[in-house]
């Protein structure tokens, strides 16, 4: 019979960059005893995102950082909203052009991720933050 479960993941980031939490997520899915269904994640912040990306070569994460540093540079003179520093408005822009929600089907008790896909919190602020991710699982 269909039922649902909820959870809030608390991720402590070490500052800007990708912080993988695939293992915590898979663990939560496995312990729920639901074999088939849908997991949805929502990050409760406007200066961080959720990303599914390659988890094999760390250079991919380094290059993503390099691309975004060029596309949305800190300290851009374009912005008025600079109360919290040079990385404040760039963090909002980054969270507008990258995902804040993810929805992943579950089959045979596992997330339907591709071979090289990991699930990440993408911290857009320079300093470490505590990030909250609301999780919902419906299935049977």
* HSE-up (13 A, CA, CB side) for residue 50: 22
Q: Which of 45, 124, 125, 129 binds a copy of itself (CB under 8 A)?
A: 45
Q: Which is nearer to a copy of itself, 62 or 127 (CB)?
A: 62
Report the alpha-carbon distance of residue 123 to residue 69 in Å, rounded: 13
Please state whether 100 falls in left (phi above 0), alpha (psi between -120 and 50) or beta: alpha
Q: Which is nearer to a copy of itself, 31 or 82 (CB)?
A: 82
Q: Which of 15, 23, 63, 110 binds a copy of itself (CB under 8 A)?
A: 63
For the record, the structure tokens of 38 come out as 């849908």
CB 132 within 8 A of CB 8: yes
From residue 74 to residue 113, the character string flagging contacts with a copy of itself as x (rule: CB under 8 A) and all else as - is: ----xxxx-x-----x--xx-xxxxxxxxxxx-x----xx
Report the alpha-carbon distance of residue 128 to residue 96 in Å, rounded: 20
Q: What's the gap between Cα 16 and its chain centre?
A: 12
Tell me if 53 contacts a copy of itself by CB under 8 A: yes
Q: Which of 17, 26, 74, 136 binds a copy of itself (CB under 8 A)?
A: 136
Q: Which of 10, 38, 21 is nearest to 107 (CA)?
A: 38
Binding positions for a copy of itself, rule: CB under 8 A: 2-4, 6, 8, 36-38, 40, 42-46, 51-54, 57, 59-60, 62-64, 66-67, 70-72, 78-81, 83, 89, 92-93, 95-105, 107, 112-117, 132, 134-136, 138-140
């Amino acid at each position: 019979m269909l039922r649902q479960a909820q959870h809030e993941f608390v991720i402590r980031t070490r500052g800007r960059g990708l912080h993988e939490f695939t293992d915590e997520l898979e663990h939560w899915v496995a312990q729920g005893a639901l074999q088939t269904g849908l997991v949805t994640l929502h990050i409760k912040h406007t200066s961080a995102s959720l990303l599914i990306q390659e988890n094999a070569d760390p250079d991919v994460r380094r290059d993503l950082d390099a691309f975004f540093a060029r596309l949305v540079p800190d300290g851009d003179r374009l912005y008025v909203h600079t109360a919290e520093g040079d990385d404040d408005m760039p963090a909002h822009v980054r969270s507008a052009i990258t995902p804040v929600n993810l929805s992943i089907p579950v089959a045979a008790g596992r997330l339907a991720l591709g071979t090289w896909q990991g699930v990440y919190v993408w911290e857009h602020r320079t300093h470490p933050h505590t990030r909250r991710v609301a999780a919902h699982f419906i299935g049977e």
